[in-house]
Amino acid sequence: MMPFTLGIRLLGGFSLRLDDRAVVDLTSGRSQALLAYLVLNRQTAQSRQRIALHLWPESTDAQARANLRKELSRLRHALPQPETYLRVETKTLQWLPSSAFSLDVLEFEAATKAAEHAPDSVTIRTHLEQAIAHYQGNLLPNLEDEWLRPDRERLADRYLWVLGRLVQVATAQQDYATALTYAQQHLRADPLNESTYATLMRLHGWQGDRAKALQVYHQCLTVLREELGIDPSVATRQLYETLLMETDNLLGQGQGDETLPGDPGGQSVPAPHIQNSKLGGFIRTVDRSASFLVQPAPTPHIQNSKFKIQNSTLVGREQIWGAIQQWASTVLPTLVPEGEDGAVAAVIDFADLSKLAQGAIAAVTRQILSNRTLPIAILSHL
């Protein structure tokens, strides 16, 4: 009789399938831990005493060995033709490496290794994407066994490496939308990685979404201050300042030469040419002021009348406030649709305005309003 093929999944949770059918007899956490221990250490026979110590560290030696015998019996009962997968000796146990089984950990590691030795960027990307498909989460996240920690951390680090390489390869291919997706995954997995914030800023900038790039910087600033008590590095602040500058090349000729997060090869990525936004002057003026508008101020009394705002608390910032009013009175009418009689539409709220201005005004307004330094209803009514 031909041996059955077992499919074992340990990344993101435990799953055991026999051909195309789920094996439901292995639901105990200790049974799953035993199988995982044997599979991950399959190259050599493992002593029963060592296995029992790892799986039941708080039990006596006698009790731990008794527990191991019980879980081994469950495992052998759940496996079809268990002798084709397990070598059971008096003092040792071993998962047979040559048996008919698949393991997502093995497939993930094989794909990452293939990517390292691939001859071209297309093949590299293919192997990296295969690796991402296999990595569905941390190694057995529901188990807190100490013996799992080294492998769990090693695989998580490898996952970050894969994401970083995918960002680099996709960016070099000028596939910025895909690069953004992987950079965002990288940030979710490692939210304190400052270089990933910088990469997201560049990618948004290269796509022409300067407002989003600036928003990422402020997110980085907030996270680093709250979690680590530090500010972004000089390099990240310089990138932020570069994004604020109104030049023909948004990111500067040299910005794209920096390597992306997780890149072990040190390869560079070209910076594409970006046209300036019509809203650039307003965004730059207001967002540059946000760096020193850090102390909360009382919300002022506002009286709106056709772009005219009175009683502002922006003492000492008349130039900035004047720029806002000038922008509102000159640029906004070109963005607002006219009614049938040629008049400007009656009411426009911030949601409509952000759509018309491609999200730029909304991002800047949220940043300033978070410090309560500007009136909430600058352009609520026309």
For 367, half-sphere exposure in the C-beta direction (CA atoms, 13 angstrom radius) is 27
The verdict on residue 114 lying in a domain is no
The verdict on residue 340 lying in a domain is yes
User: Predicted confidence band at 26 (pLDDT cuts at 50, 70, 90)?
Assistant: confident
User: Predicted confidence band at 323 (pLDDT cuts at 50, 70, 90)?
Assistant: low
The verdict on residue 137 lying in a domain is no
CA distance 313 to 13: 55
Q: What mean pLDDT comes out for the span 139-148?
A: 95
- Whether residue 256 is predicted with pLDDT greater than 70 in this model: the reply is no
One domain for residues 90 and 152: no
One domain for residues 181 and 243: yes
One domain for residues 152 and 247: yes
Tell which of 203, 232, 257 closes a domain: 257
Query: Among 59-68, 70-79, 274-283, 318-327, whose mean pLDDT is lowest?
Result: 274-283
One domain for residues 153 and 249: yes
Structure tokens at 303: 């009286």
Q: Which has the closest alpha carbon to 55: 39, 37, 42, 40?
A: 37
- Whether residue 299 is predicted with pLDDT greater than 70 in this model: the reply is no
CATH number at residue 48: 1.10.10.10
One domain for residues 154 and 225: yes
One domain for residues 99 and 180: no
The verdict on residue 109 lying in a domain is no
Alpha helices by DSSP H, listed for the chain, are 29-40, 48-55, 61-78, 104-117, 121-134, 149-172, 176-189, 194-206, 210-228, 234-244, 280-290, 318-330, 332-335, 350-356, 360-370
The verdict on residue 286 lying in a domain is no
One domain for residues 22 and 75: yes
Tell which of 231, 257, 283 closes a domain: 257
The verdict on residue 284 lying in a domain is no
pLDDT top residue among 301 and 101: 101
- The domain of 56 spans 6-103
Other C-beta atoms closer than 10 Å to the C-beta of 164 total: 25
Using a pLDDT cut of 90, give the percent of the chain over it.
Answer: 57
The verdict on residue 214 lying in a domain is yes
One domain for residues 76 and 155: no
One domain for residues 151 and 221: yes
One domain for residues 253 and 150: yes
The verdict on residue 108 lying in a domain is no
- Whether residue 277 is predicted with pLDDT greater than 90 in this model: the reply is no
Which pLDDT score, from 0 to 100, does residue 362 have? 44
Query: Among 161-165, 180-184, 232-236, 362-366, whose mean pLDDT is lowest?
Result: 362-366
One domain for residues 151 and 202: yes
Which pLDDT score, from 0 to 100, does residue 216 have? 96
User: Predicted confidence band at 217 (pLDDT cuts at 50, 70, 90)?
Assistant: very high
Global confidence as pTM = 0.65
pLDDT tens, position by position, 61-115: 999 999 999 999 999 998 888 999 999 999 999 999 999 999 999 999 999 999 9
Which pLDDT score, from 0 to 100, does residue 154 have? 97
Return mean pLDDT, the chain.
75
One domain for residues 250 and 308: no
Query: For residue 52, what are the contacts with CB-CB under 8 A and spacing of at least 6?
Result: 59, 61, 64, 65, 67, 68
Which pLDDT score, from 0 to 100, does residue 5 have? 83
pLDDT top residue among 110 and 283: 110
pLDDT tens, position by position, 120-139: 999 999 999 999 999 999 99
Structural domain total, the chain: 3
Which pLDDT score, from 0 to 100, does residue 28 have? 86
Tell which of 200, 231, 257 closes a domain: 257
User: Predicted confidence band at 373 (pLDDT cuts at 50, 70, 90)?
Assistant: very low
Which pLDDT score, from 0 to 100, does residue 213 have? 93
Question: What H or E segment, with its residue span, contains residue 86?
Answer: strand 86-88
